[in-house]
Amino acid sequence: MTERKKINIAKPSFLGNEKKYLVDTIDSGWISSIGPYIEKFEVEFARYHGVKHAVATHNGTIALHLALVAAGITSGDEVVVPDFTFVATANSVRYCNARPILADVERDDWNLSPEAVAANITSKTKAIIPVHLYGNPARMNELRAIAKQYDLIIIEDCAEALGAIYQGERVGTMGDIGCFSFFGNKIITTGEGGMCITNNDVLAERMRILRDHGMNRSKKYWYDLLGFNYRMTNMQAAVGLAQLEQIDGLLKTRDDIYRTYENAFSSCKKIVLQENHHQQSVNWIFTLRMQGVSEEQRDAVMADLKAQNIDSRPVFYPIHQMDFYQNGDFFRSIPENSKLISREGISLPTFIGLDHGDINFIAETLIESLGNQR
């Protein structure tokens, strides 16, 4: 029997000007964090979102940290974050010596529950970080209403959702600051990279100063603030600009992949997808719930996929279960939906170049394995 070719979980695609722009940075010598591609990438990223400012950073995690520091989050403050997300969302709050409060997510859309947020508001609450998980927009209308009522800052974690639209508004433009990641498996990549977008002139200026060691913008080597080196390099930005030029096509191809998966799984009643409330989600990594499975059964399905050379991933584990989130007072009730989705969830290969035959084979293999679980 010939072994089937390996199907990876994710793969970047460089089909545009990536190489050309990158070589240009090397030829010009501008490889570090000064150079024309940084501003070009920021300008185009801001234009794509219809916002005034885009501030590029070295990765998505520090984009979140930069946004929180610029927004004044500090020790003693509480920031409500979803319990079911990539760990960086919560960690970025701890880097400010503030306290992330892990709130439950909705069972249908897997995103921050407005009800759980409301239940976790105290006199110390300063901000909320909705995450548009797997490219699916969170319930921003309800979250914005709560933020308005309690005068809270909203920082959107859009790391997985570049290009998604919620009731006509792009994700990242609905709060005070929107944060993005350009890690190798994200919608567009710069290797490592991140971005903060905002319409607020003061926040934008503060982020620009903070990412450059807190240095005064007109007096070299004079520092007004305790800052960081969070800058993006010209090499990263060169790749990012080329990727952004292709964004519409990239999103469309990912959409086609979603629909092919959706079709292939439509006959299997045990499989539940993330509800998107008719928003324009983007397909970051196709992810589903296998209703009623235990974690062991989920892992057994992943092993069966692996035996067919198909790479898959468990979804995120609930953050409240991590050792370093157990001791402090990081949650006030057990986030039950987070636990449920975490146990039943699995992410499947999603990348440009994955063909319909691969997708159908993946779906058949998964459905068969699921049927064999006892």
Ligand X SMILES: *Cc1c(COP(=O)(O)O)cnc(C)c1O
Residues at the site binding ligand X, with contacts judged by CB under 6 A = 59-61, 85-86, 88-89, 131, 157, 159-160, 181, 183, 194
Q: By C-beta, is 80 or 264 nearer to ligand X?
A: 80
The nearest distance, CB 192 to ligand X, in angstroms, is: 6
Residue 245, class by beta-carbon neighbours within 10 Å (0-12 exposed, 13-18 middle, 19+ buried)? middle
Q: CB of residue 22 vs ligand X: minimum separation in angstroms?
A: 19
Closest separation between CB of residue 240 and ligand X, Å?
12
Q: How many CB atoms lie within 10 A of CB 298?
A: 22
Please tell me the total number of residues recorded for the chain in this structure.
Answer: 374
Place of tokens 């892992």: 299
C-beta closer to ligand X: residue 342 or 369: 342
Residue 180 to residue 50: CA distance in whole angstroms: 15
Nearest-angstrom CA–CA distance, 10 and 284: 10
Nearer to ligand X, 135 or 363 (CB): 135
For the record, the structure tokens of 107 come out as: 């069972």
**Location of structure tokens 């986030």:** 335
Nearest residue to ligand X, by Cβ distance, number only: 60
> How many angstroms separate the CA atoms of 131 and 111, rounded?
7
Helices (H) and strands (E) in the chain, counts: 12, 13
User: What is the C-alpha separation between 22 and 91, in angstroms, rounded?
Assistant: 32
Beta carbon nearer to ligand X, 158 or 363: 158
Q: Which is nearer to ligand X, 232 or 257 (CB)?
A: 232
Q: How far is the CB of 314 from ligand X (least distance, A)?
A: 14
- To ligand X, the closest distance from the beta carbon of 111 in angstroms equals 11
